[in-house]
């Protein structure tokens, strides 16, 4: 069988990582103040969120992560998971697909990525699960039913508000399906830090149970508060580098079931471990005080009718999103 046709793309600044500096902290605090002023009519709900979620946020500040068990109904999550599996099976509605099996270590060091051509999407003789580490869903708020229910959940927004002391924006959203195969870990399957803000509230939702070997989210406990000198010089870290600084016991593998939610401050060191014996689907949303800097992410699209039905909190969180009339 001939190898599927691919194209190579080298984006600008492939490993741009923003160091946490005094300037970052100052900008963050200025944006918090601006956000408080912008949303001053909601001052009382913001204070109420701080009280309601004080234990969760305290643990988040201390450890950098927290797991909320049985947060969403399983039938809602199972429905989302089934939709993703169908899109992967049919190869419809997916983001451009990386040819991970064809990328060398030199490619990754230089930031040269290989993508399959459009013909690959219709070539059933080329199995995804042996050629690709993971695939993403394009415009999940548009293509996946009930995604707005999850992303703009009042409790998640309340926790993010309590975390910042101000009402946040939804600044990043992705849904990915990772394959349990023998390919090497790639991209965010390696330890890294999110550099888009001084503090980042990330919600991670598995779309099925994730047991041992299933590719759990891993977090280095306390790394949001403590890093070593020169950490910002690299975009990815090895297990040995992490263990030398924090010890192996600080690497927490967050096994969870469908309906559980993991919250993390991803200015700490983390990764989505590569699954080895089962596939894994996950929804990830960032909530920040300001639009994230660093990598240039695609705009998050939302249907007008979905935006119109959001709560006032949700409307404010969606201010950074791009509204579309029809799909």
Helices (H), 41-153: 43-52, 54-63, 74-90, 105-110, 128-131, 140-143, 147-151
Cα–Cα distance, 24 to 33 (Å, whole number): 14
- Residue ranges making up the domain that contains 31: 19-324
Q: Domain of 109: which CATH number?
A: 2.60.120.620
For the record, the structure tokens of 80 come out as 């989302």
Q: Is residue 12 part of a domain?
A: no
Residue with tokens 């998640």: 156
Q: Is residue 63 part of a domain?
A: yes
Q: Is residue 8 part of a domain?
A: no
Question: How many domains is the chain built from?
Answer: 1
Identify each DSSP E strand in the chain by its residue range. Answer: 6-9, 65-68, 113-116, 134-136, 169-178, 201-206, 217-220, 251-254, 261-265, 270-272, 280-288, 301-303, 322-324
Cα–Cα distance, 201 to 161 (Å, whole number): 10
Could you read off the pLDDT tens digit of each residue along the chain, which spans 327 residues?
Answer: 455 554 444 444 333 334 467 888 899 999 999 999 988 888 887 888 888 999 999 999 999 999 999 999 999 999 999 999 999 999 999 999 888 878 777 766 566 788 888 777 777 777 888 888 899 999 999 999 999 999 999 999 999 999 999 999 999 999 999 999 888 888 888 899 998 999 999 999 999 999 998 999 999 999 999 888 888 877 888 888 899 989 999 999 999 999 999 999 999 999 999 998 899 999 999 999 999 987 777 799 999 999 999 999 999 999 999 999 866
pTM for the whole structure: 0.90
Q: Is residue 233 part of a domain?
A: yes
Q: Is residue 169 part of a domain?
A: yes
Q: Is residue 121 part of a domain?
A: yes
Q: Is residue 62 part of a domain?
A: yes
Q: Is residue 44 part of a domain?
A: yes
């Amino acid at each position: 069988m001939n190898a599927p046709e691919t194209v190579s793309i080298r984006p600008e600044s492939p490993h741009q990582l923003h160091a946490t500096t005094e300037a970052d902290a100052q900008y963050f605090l200025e944006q918090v103040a601006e956000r408080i002023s912008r949303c001053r009519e909601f001052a009382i709900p913001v204070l109420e969120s701080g009280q309601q979620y004080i234990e969760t946020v305290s643990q988040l500040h201390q450890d950098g992560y927290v797991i909320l068990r049985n947060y969403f109904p399983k039938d809602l999550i199972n429905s989302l998971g089934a939709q993703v599996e169908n899109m992967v099976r049919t190869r419809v509605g997916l983001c451009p697909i990386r040819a991970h099996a064809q990328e060398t270590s030199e490619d990754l060091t230089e930031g040269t990525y290989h993508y399959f051509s459009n013909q690959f999407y219709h070539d059933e003789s080329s199995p995804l699960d042996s050629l690709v580490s993971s695939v993403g869903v394009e415009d999940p708020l548009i293509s996946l039913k009930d995604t707005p229910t999850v992303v703009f959940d009042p409790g998640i927004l309340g926790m993010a508000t309590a975390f910042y002391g101000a009402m946040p924006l939804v600044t990043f959203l992705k849904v990915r399906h990772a394959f349990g195969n023998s390919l090497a870990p790639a991209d965010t399957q390696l330890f890294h830090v999110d550099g888009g803000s001084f503090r980042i509230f990330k919600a991670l939702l598995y779309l099925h149970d994730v047991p041992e070997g299933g590719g759990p989210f891993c977090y280095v406990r306390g790394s949001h508060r403590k890093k070593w000198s020169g950490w910002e010089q690299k975009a990815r870290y090895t297990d040995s580098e992490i263990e030398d600084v924090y010890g192996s016991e600080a690497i927490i593998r967050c096994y969870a079931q469908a309906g559980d939610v993991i919250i993390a401050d991803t200015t700490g060191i983390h990764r989505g471990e590569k699954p080895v014996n089962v596939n894994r689907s996950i929804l990830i949303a960032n909530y920040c005080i300001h639009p994230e800097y660093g990598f240039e992410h695609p705009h998050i699209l939302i249907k007008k009718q979905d935006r119109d039905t959001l709560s006032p909190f949700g409307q404010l969180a969606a201010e950074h999103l791009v509204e579309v009339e029809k799909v």
